[in-house]
Copies of this chain bind each other. A is one copy, B any other.
Amino acid sequence: MIFFTRRERFSAAHRMFRQDWTDEKNSEVFGKCSNPNWHGHNYVLWVTVKGEISENHGFVMNISILKKIIQERIIEKIDHRNINIDVAFMKGKIATTENLTIAIWNELKPEIEKAGASLHCIKIEETENNFIEYYG
């Protein structure tokens, strides 16, 4: 069993808030992250897949296939977008990095399995000081 990780990046706007809370309550819980006019980040995404090395080509999974899956399923849908408004797989969820990490796991898992590997970990860095990891 060997682990292969691909790093990708996307830039997006978001805001943390709950519609069923008052502005005061949102501000108390989420602080400056609930600014009504949005803020944004350069997110860094690491996708780790695992599997046996193929004797055929010496890879766990061909990198061009993994890049294509991440590009089509995630980057094209979230890069230079608003996470709260524009991204279908985040609809109805609080736009925390925790929820985003799990949503991306759910988007990628079936595609990676169709390609013959297993998804091991999704890691998202929101700033250089904070990141989230999810292993399913």
A contact residues vs B (CB 8 Å cutoff):
1-9, 11-14, 16, 18, 29-33, 35, 37-42, 48, 53, 57-60, 62-64, 79-82, 85-86, 93-96, 98-99, 101-102, 127-135
Are A41 and B41 in touch, CB under 8 angstroms? yes
- If A4-B132, A59-B96, A101-B2 touch, does A127 touch B42 (CB 8 Å cutoff)? yes
A14 to B35, CA, bound (A): 13
Q: Which residues of B contact A131 (CB under 8 A)?
A: 4-5
CB distance B6 to A129 under 8 Å? yes
Q: In the complex, how many angstroms separate the beta carbon of A15 from the nearest chain B beta carbon?
A: 9
Q: Do B5 and A30 touch (CB < 8 A)? A: no
